[in-house]
Chain A
Amino acid sequence: MADTPHIKRSPDAGSSSGKLTPSYLDPDYQVMGEGLTYKSVTDKITDIVLKLKTSKGWWIGFGLSFTVLQVLVVSIVYLLIKGPGIWGVNNPVMWGFAIINFVWWIGIGHAGTLISAILLLVQQDWRTSINRFAEAMTVFAVMCAGLFPLLHVGRPWLAYWMLPYPSTMGVWPQFRSPLLWDVFAISTYLTVSVLFWYLGLIPDMATLRDRATHKVKKAVYGFLSLGWRGAAKHWDRFTTAYLILAGLSTPLVLSVHSIVSFDFAVSNLPGWHTTIFPPYFVAGAVYSGFAMVLTVLIPVRHIFGLHDVLTLRHLNSMSKVMLAMGLVVAYGYSMEAFYAFYSGAQYEIQAFQNRMYAGPYAWSYWALILCNVAIPQLLWFRRFRTTLVPLWMISIVINIGMWLERYVIVITLNRDFLTSSWDFYSPTIWDWSLYLGTFGLFFTCTFLFIRFLPMINVFEMRELIHHVSHHHHVEGGHGADSHEKSVAQS
C-alpha cells in the first residue's frame, strides 16, 4: 500500500486501491497484473538480478546447458582437425545440416526483431514485457546461426576472405552471389541486433546501478550504464533513436531472411528456384521465432513467478501471431506445389513428386505438414492459446516443423537433374553433435542473461504503468489523449 501514491493521478478519483485494471477490459486481456507501481515493478524485475538467491532450477538448467556447450566445443575442435569430411555432406547435397541449422537459427532470431521493432511501430503495448527477452534470443540465435556457414567454409580462419578488403591477391568479393549477400546481411543483422539490445539496456543498467548494494555489482552495472542519468534530453535522443532503429530493423529483418532464401531461390535447381521463397521464408522465420519465444518463456515465467507481467494476454497474442504466420507458411507450401506442377517443367514436377511421395525422404515432407500445418490449427481455440502445457507443446512442435521445412528443402537436392548423380544423404554423429552443441551455446547464454541482466524491460514497464494508469484516470493531466490510443486498441 505504501506504493500506491505513485500511480494515483488525481486524488478525487476515489480509487484508493491504486489498481491498474482498465475496467472495460476482459481480465485475460490485461497487459499486466493488478496493483503494480513504478516501485513494485522495478523491484520485482531487478530483484531477480540483484537480490534473489540463485535458484536450484537455474543451476540445473545452466549446468545442463554448459555441459551441452562442451559438445559444441568438441565438435568444432574435431571438425577443425579433420575437416568437413566428418559430416554427411556429399555431392548432390553439398550443404546438408550446415544450411538447415543456419536457416533455422536465423529464423528463430527474427522473432526478437519482430517483437521489438514491428510491434513497437504498430504500438502493441503487450510487447513490452517480452521484447527484451526476445531481443536477447535474437542475439544468441544469430550467434548460433553464424557458426554454421563459418564452419562450413572448411577453413574458418580464412573467413575474412569474404570481406571486401584490399587484398594482395587483387580480387574482391563476388558481389553477384547470394552467399556474399549473406555475409553482409548476417553481419549487419548481428551488429544492429546487439546495438538495439544494448541501447535498450542502458537505462535499466542505470536502475541496477542505483539499486545494487554490492560494490562489484554497482561498479559493473555502473560501467555498463555509461553514467545514464535519465535527463529529458537524454530520453529525447534515446526514444528518437529507438524509434528510428525500430524503423530500420523492420526492413532489415525482412531483407535478411529474403537474402537467406536467395541462397536457394537464386540457384537454378528444381525445388529451389521459386519466387515464393522470400515471403514464405520470412513468414516461416517469424513463425519459428515466436514458437521459440514461447518454448523458453513459458518455463521461465513459471520459475520466476512472472505471472503478472507476462500475462495470458501475451501468450494469447503470441499464439495468434503464430497461427497467422502458420497460415502464411501453409499458403507458401501449397503455392510451391502448385507452381511446380503448373510450370510444366519436368524437373520441377519430378522434384515435387520426390518430395511428396516418390522420393526416399517423403516421410519428412508429411512430418513437416503435420507439425507446421495440421497441429497448429489447434490454436484457433482459445483454450489452446491460454493453457500453458498444450501451448508449450505446440510451440515445440512448430520448432520441429520449421526445422523439418529446411530439411525438406535441402534434402530435395538428393535427386537433381541427372539420375547418375543421385545420392542419399544421411547426417553423421558430428552433424548431430554440432547441432546439439549450438543448443548448449544458446541456452548457456540465455541462462547467463536471465541471471545477470533484467530480462524484462524495466523502464518500458514503468512507462506502461504510466500509460495504463493514465487511462484509468483520464482526467489526470498531460498527454492523456495520446497515451489512450496505445491502451485502447487492445
Chain B
Amino acid sequence: MSHTVEIDRPEHYGMIAEFDSPEALMAAAEKTRDAGYKQIDAYSSFPIEGMVDALGQKRTRLPKLILTAGITGMLTGLFLQSWTAASTLGITIGPYMFYGYPMNIGGRPMLSLPNFIPVTFEMTVLFAALTAVFGTILLNKLPMPYHPLFNAERFSLASQDKFFLCVEARDPKYDREGTKAFLEGLHPDAVEEVEH
C-alpha cells in the first residue's frame, strides 16, 4: 500500500469532494479530521465560522503580528518627532549622518508631547493596517497564480456556490482507493482527483 503512495505523490495533488452547503462541508471536515487525515483543507466562497477547528488547524497568529506592528509604529512616530523636533542627536546610517533640528515654535516646550500625539497615533494605525493587509496576503502565500486545485474541473464553483473538501496526496494516510472510498462515504455531490 505504501508503495502505491510513493508513486501517487508526484502525479496527484489530492482528492476533492464537493458539497452543497456549509453544514455538509463542516460535518465532512470533522469526520475527515477524526479519521486521522492531517493534510486536509476546505474551500468555500465565504468564511465559515469554526471551519479551522473542524479541520484541526491552528488559528492564525495575525493578531499578535498586528499588535507588534502597531506598537512599532507608535514608537517610530514618537521617536521620529522627539528626535527631530526636540534634540540635536546625530544618527549615522551608512555613510550619512542625520541630525535633529529643534525649533522654538510659539514658545512650546521642545518635547511637546501633546502636540506629538496625532502623528504618533497615525503611525500606529498605519503600521498596524499595513501589517494586517500584507500579513493576510503573504501568510496566505499569495500571490499564487497557479495552484493544482485550479486543474479540477468543478473547482471554479468554490468561489461561487459550492463547497469543497480536499485531502492532499502528501498526507501519510492518503491512498488513492481508500481515500476515494472514504470521501464517497461522506455523501458528497462528487469526488474528483486533482492532477498536479
Contacts and interface: CB of A to CB of B under 8 A. Distances in A.
A232 to B, nearest CB: 4
Contact of A199 (B27, B101, B125, B133): B133
B136 interface: yes
B50 A478 contact: yes
B119 interface: yes
A175 B135 contact: no
Contacts of A214: none
A239 B96 contact: no
The prevalent SS among residues of A at the interface is: helix
A435 B83 CA distance: 39
Interface residue tally on B, bucketed by range: 35 or more
A351 to B, nearest CB: 22
Given A188-B122, A222-B145, A462-B45, A248 B132 contact: yes
B7 interface: no
A166 B98 contact: yes
Contacts of A424: none
Interface string B70-103: 1000000000110011000000000010111101
B142 interface: yes
A210 to B, nearest CB: 4
B159 A207 contact: yes
A51 interface: no
Interface band, chain A: 35 or more
Interface in A197-229: 198-199, 202-203, 206-207, 209-211, 222-223, 226-229
Interface of A: 3, 5-6, 9, 37-39, 42, 164, 166, 170-178, 180-181, 184-185, 188, 191-192, 195-196, 198-199, 202-203, 206-207, 209-211, 222-223, 226-241, 244-245, 248-249, 251-252, 255, 259, 262, 459-460, 462-463, 466, 476-479, 482-483
Interface of B: 20-23, 26-27, 29, 41-52, 54-55, 57, 59-60, 62-63, 66, 70, 80-81, 84-85, 96, 98-101, 103, 105-106, 108, 112, 115-116, 118-119, 121-123, 125-126, 128-130, 132-133, 135-137, 139-140, 142-147, 149, 156-161
A-B pairs with the 3 shortest C-beta distances? A38-B161, A172-B84, A210-B156
